[in-house]
Amino acid sequence: MNERVMQFRIGLFVIVSGLVLTMMVVWFGETPSLLRDQVYLKVRYSEAPGVLEGVPVRKSGIRIGEVVAITFDERPGQPEGVIVTLALEHRYPVRAGSAPKLTRSIIGDVAIDMEPGTGEEFQPTGKTPMSAPVIEGSVAPDPSKALAAATKAFEKAGDTLESINAAAAGLAKLTNSADKLDNLLMTWHDTGQNVSNAARGINRFIAENEGNFQPALADLRSVGQKINTALDAEAVKNLREGINRFSNAAAQIDAELAALDPALKEIGAPTSRQSPRTDIGQAVRRLNMVLADVSLLTNKLRTPNGTLNSEGSLQKLLIRTDLHDNLNAMAQSANQAFLQLKVVLGTLRTFAEKVSNDPGVLGRGAFNRQ
């Protein structure tokens, strides 16, 4: 083969290899921004779970940039946090007041959504990462944590329903006791009427026998004198002690009735009263609040016909186990796909680094095959 032809072929091969290498470095290397007109913006987050370089930045669902750097906030006088540098395409301007929100899906995908701003002017940006201004960002709630919190809430709801059943049983007993109390009050009413009738009868008896009372009193006085002479000092002392004990017992009964009076007043008080002061009043108020919460919960879980709504989202999550199985299977499949993609990207990165460090590798490989 002619040496000049050989040199021409080698030069042509080197030029083609250089072009291919340049394209691979641009598309698979660390500098894809060479072909883009980009501006830079720094966002401060209190925490940035799952954020890596290359995470997309979206505005109204359209990708407008990506994350190019992540550092800790080491500015003096500032609280601890994370500074995330965004590379935004210049053709997609961002209005002032826009808030970059860090979002995470159920399967773990992380993205930064640029919420629309209310300002009339555009957000200032920098031509280089060092000159980029810093704005505050927000972190959306983690869906997995929300699902775990919902599960705990349903567990607590089950415990609450058990407590409500126990409270309802106690309320039934209290209702039965209330019926007995009504009977007792009716009995006391009848007894009061009977006492009133007896008093009227006594008055009539006294009026009819008023003339006989004076001799009877005289006889009673003489009988009392005879009793006084008949009773010794020990008997009188025992009689006085008995009278004193009876008086103390009556005073104690009056004190107990006085202590019970506030509780009885609060039981009969209207529902508009906001601050019960006794334990019984507090218990009745809490029972009313529990019954109101139960009414709200049952209204959400049932249909207008009064039956359980089995087509609701919450009921499906609680009843249908296949939804949980599908979520687990989807998460495992996604994890395996990401692992395989990571291996492929690692291989391509290694190839690109070898070619970028030593472009002659491609030429030597071609000559070795010949």
Q: What are the pLDDT digits (tens) for 176-202?
A: 665 666 676 677 677 777 777 777 777
Neighbours of 21 (CB within 10 A): 17
User: How far apart (Å, rounded) are the C-alpha atoms in residues 43 and 87?
Assistant: 11
When computed from its CA atoms, the radius of gyration of the chain, rounded to whole angstroms, is 46
Q: Which of 18-22, 96-100, 264-268 has the lowest mean pLDDT?
A: 264-268
SS3 state at 104 = strand
Interacting residues of 151 by C-beta distance below 8 A, sequence separation 6+? none
Closest CA to 344 of 366, 336, 19: 336
Which residue intervals of 231-320 are DSSP H helices?
Answer: 233-267, 279-301, 313-319
Return the amino acid letter for 34: L
User: How far apart (Å, rounded) are the C-alpha atoms in residues 49 and 263?
Assistant: 55
Q: What are the pLDDT digits (tens) for 135-175?
A: 888 888 776 666 666 667 667 766 676 777 776 676 667 56
Strand 138-139 with 99-104, pairing: parallel
Closest CA to 20 of 368, 365, 326: 365
135 contacts 41 by C-beta, under 8 angstroms? yes
Kind plus residue range of the DSSP H or E element containing 103: strand 99-104
pLDDT at 22: 81
Q: What is the mean pLDDT of residues 269-286?
A: 70
Q: What are the pLDDT digits (tens) for 209-264?
A: 767 666 777 777 776 676 666 666 777 677 778 788 877 877 887 777 777 677 66
Neighbours of 10 (CB within 10 A): 13
Q: What are the pLDDT digits (tens) for 308-332?
A: 666 666 566 666 677 667 777 888 8
Strand 110-115 with 56-59, pairing: parallel
Which residues are registered as beta bridge partners of 122?
95
Torsion angle, alpha carbons of 267, 268, 274, 275, to 10 = -50
Neighbours of 83 (CB within 10 A): 20
pLDDT at 370: 47
User: How far apart (Å, rounded) are the C-alpha atoms in residues 84 and 90?
Assistant: 18
SS3 state at 73 = coil
Enter the tokens of residue 347. Answer: 């291989």
